[in-house]
Structure 1
């Protein structure tokens, strides 16, 4: 569904701070981004959020030439993770995001990776359009907008949960802090259990997606009684799916990059949407089911084609994966 969301003319962006986090440009060992991507990121914020404050949260010895920001935060690089559960750069992303959010004084904030950029500001209006929540399901004070690119609904034909993209988060600053300002991983009372579970599938295609490990940690921290501890990527039953969907409907808005105003790095761009990702219409169906049954959903050509591809592709993908890989459970 392609909608043209537009921010109200009288809205200013002075209440928003953009935390741009991560390495500046490319660096040794990570050279797959186009040159000048961080400068493009910062310039795009000036264009599309002209009154917003920009905080650049990065590492020492970065080339900051010609970069336009309001506040610079330099953190000491914590290095790669070696805990047996988190992705190798988990603490790097957490630390740079936390350091940036610590400096935010505005009521709204954006967490934006330094290798993405803006193409509009429609997400500001989108965040206010779906305010209803299911009774006793609201965790955040307002909904948080997350982009649909790499927000996985399935993997190898199997339904999965807790696999949101880490590119872009927009919402109340207090809500973003709930997500990103977590204690060190080993300080969680569930960390050892996650490590032990991860060791059983280490080196297999059943390991959690990187995005699942992030979400597993922050969601278990803020909703401990309803969040399961995943043993592997596909460790999900119908009850878990419903719990996840109800959380999404009342707390998150999944928006498509092209209609929310998010620009994607080249390696993330696709001619057609991946069959394993959520679309905004997928999310809208959840919102209608759990929060507001008066919502009108217009299924457009892109959504029909997406659902048709899922109908044929996902069962085939599931079968191929099953033939190639024996389950460890």
Structure 2
């Protein structure tokens, strides 16, 4: 019995040392404001301190970079490196979401300082509850022939990763909360030139102006994704005229990209904590779940994968069955698709 107890203690110590060594290969870039400012008052008190403390708890040995703006209250914040960038202010280009350049710039500045092979991009108003995403990232390594863009898959959380909107299928609408993968792959996503320097920027602006202020305008996440994906996969990336400007072929291209390059993971099982305004008792019917992604991975990359449909997924699919057609019909009756 004593031998067995000693064996368990030694294995626990070995596992802790192994994981700490793994975590030393990771840098966490925490990006964004650390306090509220005029026009943005929904941050929870102390959320960035909670974010940074959670990294120390769940990724011991990792490096923490805080990439933020001038005049922030940094009292009591625990980080290894601080990067202060000049605030570019809100976007005025007529296409990107108002805080697009803020998010891109603070993420770029943080990733520029990363020297480890792996990195996390984490918003300053979220936090970690575990480190399961490290293991998840290595679990689904197969890809479809000629579909791989990243050197390894990038883990993105399912919260606000939209699969549909108003009952219609949509593409290129991933969440911007959390990204984990090879540092070079995250740089492919976030190390972009300024929006107006893209040769397709004026076309996107002109298209956006036609649907500005309507329910057909792109989601903020669609603007982000369309820009970085067009930048790294030009030939396979469509410039959307509006939120629902897609056909079945476009959906297939998007799904094949997801299966070979992204892992969509649910926050509660990957180790991501959400700010209060993002929490829901039930998963939104319009979001991807991890099981939704697993079905794509099985279809395009590895047909040997076993998928266990749990109770939550069954409830999600049941709500979709009733809710989405009704939502689509209601939207169609109220709105006419733009030319």
Q: TM-score, normalized by length of structure 1?
A: 0.97
Higher helix residue share: 2
Alignment partners' CA distance in 2, 1:263 and 1:160: 26
Q: In the alignment, does 2:300 pair up with 1:290? A: yes
Give the number of aligned pairs: 322
What SS does the corresponding residue of 1:171 show, helix, strand or coil? strand
Q: In the alignment, does 2:270 pair up with 1:260? A: yes
Q: In the alignment, does 2:232 pair up with 1:200? A: no
Tell me which residue corresponds to 2:194: 184
What SS does the corresponding residue of 2:35 show, helix, strand or coil? coil
1:143-154 superposed matches below 5 A: 143-154=153-164
Q: Which digits, 9 at most, give the CA deviation of each residue in 1:127-186, with x for residues without a partner?
A: 000000000000000000000000000000000000000000000000000000000001
Runs (4+) of structure 1 exceeding 4 A deviation are: none
Tell me which residue corresponds to 1:270: 280
Q: In the alignment, does 2:145 pair up with 1:135? A: yes
Please identify, of 27-36 and 65-74, the stretch whose mean Cα deviation from structure 2 is larger: 27-36
Tell me which residue corresponds to 2:102: 92
C-alpha RMSD over aligned residues: 0.7
Alignment partners' CA distance in 2, 1:196 and 1:27: 31
User: How much does 1:322 deviate?
Assistant: 1.3
Q: 2:248 aligns with which of 234, 238, 259?
A: 238
Q: In the alignment, does 2:321 pair up with 1:311? A: yes
User: How much does 1:28 deviate?
Assistant: 2.3
What SS does the corresponding residue of 2:327 show, helix, strand or coil? helix
What SS does the corresponding residue of 1:225 show, helix, strand or coil? helix
User: How much does 1:78 deviate?
Assistant: 0.5
Tell me which residue corresponds to 1:216: 226
Q: In the alignment, does 2:24 pair up with 1:11? A: no
What SS does the corresponding residue of 1:145 show, helix, strand or coil? strand
Alignment partners' CA distance in 1, 2:180 and 2:154: 6
Q: 1:167 aligns with which of 174, 177, 181?
A: 177
1:65-144 superposed matches below 5 A: 65-144=75-154
Alignment partners' CA distance in 2, 1:127 and 1:306: 24
Aligned 8 A contact 1:112 1:168 in 2: yes
Q: TM-score, normalized by length of structure 2?
A: 0.94
Tell me which residue corresponds to 1:5: none
Say which structure, 1 or 2, has more relative contact order (CA 8 Å, 6+ apart): 1
Q: 1:42 aligns with which of 52, 57, 68?
A: 52
Alignment partners' CA distance in 2, 1:134 and 1:11: 30
Consecutive unaligned residues in structure 1, runs of 5 or more: 1-7
